[in-house]
A and B are shown apart, each in its own frame.
Chain A
Amino acid sequence: MRWRIAIVLVCLMAAVVGLQAVQVRQGGPLAGSIENVLYVRSPEAMKRLALSYDLVLADIYWIRAVQHFGGARRSADPNRRYELLYPLLDLTTSLDPYFRVAYLFGAVFLSEPPPGGPGRADQAIALLERALDAPSRQWEFAQAIGFVHYWWRQDYEQAAAWFQRAAKYPGAPEWLVPLAATTLAQGGSRESSRLLWQEIARTADEGWYRSSALHRLRQLDAMDELDRLRAVVEAYRQRVGSAPAGWADLQRAGYLRGTPVDPAGAPYRLAGGAVSLDPASPLNPLPTEPARLR
């Protein structure tokens, strides 16, 4: 009798697993299924509903925010949207007002321009300003606000003002004072950008943030190399009278020893006398530089 029950159980389990496999093969939920829904958007209501589970709910909303951002970013849909990102971050930080990473990473997520993010630097600043009442490390949030002004809004006066303000908070690192001065004097220059990213890469405590900073540094290096390569192409054009057809022409003329590759290892592209990143390079798209400094 026991054997019969065991066999029936095994058969039923196999049927369940098999049917689930069929469903997966059929391509998941049907068209029209609602995936991106946020039933409660009011932080006040959610704080009431959380009872004593506010921290755990904040964690859940934070995980949802990360998954929403990552999912939309990796989506092949050209009309990808990040409409839930700010409400999710708002709920996260309302339930747990001391959630440091949610403010810092959330601001990075919100600031990223389309298609890699929603491009909402204003929301990023609003989120970070709420964090300034944190019990410690307030300088990080002030520096992050300065960073959003610097990198995404290219408002160097505001950026310098926030870096100065960050430097005044207890425990602020010494490099914020020269950063504020450099930003004010030569804001938008690659050197001041490099200084900013280098400090973030050096001090970031989370792997994701550090690799993001290293990625930006590689992009800045690529921009420097592109400038050098364009100068080489121009020199060739002046000497020969026409643009080089490819890297081989520049090698034969003695300008280069080999095919130049970008810091990510992808070869640069030379087409019609114009030098650019290879479309397949992971460094795409390069950040936009302010017109006055180009």
Chain B
Amino acid sequence: MRVVSSVALHVFKESVRDRVLFGLVGFAALLIGASYLIGQLTAGQDVKIIKDLGLAAIATFGLFIAVFIGIGLVWKEVERRSIYALLSKPVRRHEFILGKYLGLALTLLVNVAIMTVALYLVLAYLNTHFTDNARAVWPAPAADPGMLRAIGLILLELLVVTAFALFFSTFSSPFLSAALTFGLWIIGQFNADLRNFEAVVESPAAGYLARGLSYVLPNFAVFDIKTQVVYALPVPFSQLMTTTAYGLAYIALLLTGAIAIFARRDFK
């Protein structure tokens, strides 16, 4: 466990030193701030628009961090040949993979936390500009703690995406890993359509195949409860728990796969 945590800490420090990472966080904060200005362009709904933009910015910048850093986690070590030095030390291969993953997970957690604080600060500031009359018709308060549920699921989704990026980076090039990860993320948004594919095709076999794939491929749409939190619609606790379990199970599956592939790789 000590080895895993020291690898994770190393990844985190390296990510923090990475200028792209700082740039992304700064840009996210800037976007959230700019969303206040965008709110001025429209007739009403400033708070709703800022919530929408803030949550989307957190998801988007987190996605870019997860993919572009995740795909280089293993590949960079192989490319730099530092993997030889690393594996010659008392670091087992599965510890290396787990440490890399947890390091990026920590980076994502810190980034999402910073973006969340920035979003809540903008919303709390904006809240002071409205009368009680205007606030009375909002479905949820401006700095609604309920939004944390959506942010929590965004983080979980990012952790699944990171697991995919790491999995692909154990056996393919960064370009291919990025393409595969983004591709699966997009397919994962259409999971419900795959399930209903048999309604639009004549071939029962194609329908069954699509339905089967819908169970195997990741369903990223289930992590999206932004509409529910923005409009204070009910989100059953059981659904949150099922989604969390689903995300964790997928992460465990991908990490196991990554470890299995990495364990068989020959670096001679």
Contact = CB atoms under 8 A, between A and B. Distances in A.
Contacts of B233: 98, 135
Interface residues of B, number: 30
Contacts of A100: 45, 137
B63 to A, nearest CB: 10
Given A55-B56, A59-B53, A206 B134 contact: yes
Interface in A94-113: 96, 98-102, 105
B90 interface: no
B5 interface: no
A205 B221 CA distance: 34
Interface in A115-158: 135-137
Contact of B139 (A53, A102, A136): A136
B239 to A, nearest CB: 17
B42 A66 contact: yes
Contact of B189 (A51, A56, A62, A98): A51
Nearest to A206: B44
A266 interface: no
B27 interface: no
Contacts, number: 69
Shortest Cβ-Cβ A-B pairs, 7 listed: A55-B52, A206-B44, A56-B56, A205-B134, A101-B44, A205-B137, A52-B224
Given A51-B189, A52-B220, A100-B45, 20 more contacts: A48-B190, A52-B189, A52-B224, A55-B56, A56-B53, A59-B42, A59-B45, A59-B49, A59-B52, A63-B38, A63-B41, A66-B41, A66-B42, A67-B41, A98-B139, A100-B137, A101-B44, A101-B45, A105-B44, A206-B43
24 contacts: A48-B193, A51-B186, A51-B189, A52-B226, A53-B56, A55-B52, A55-B227, A55-B230, A56-B52, A58-B52, A59-B48, A59-B52, A62-B45, A66-B42, A66-B43, A67-B41, A98-B231, A99-B45, A100-B137, A135-B231, A137-B137, A206-B44, A206-B134, A209-B44
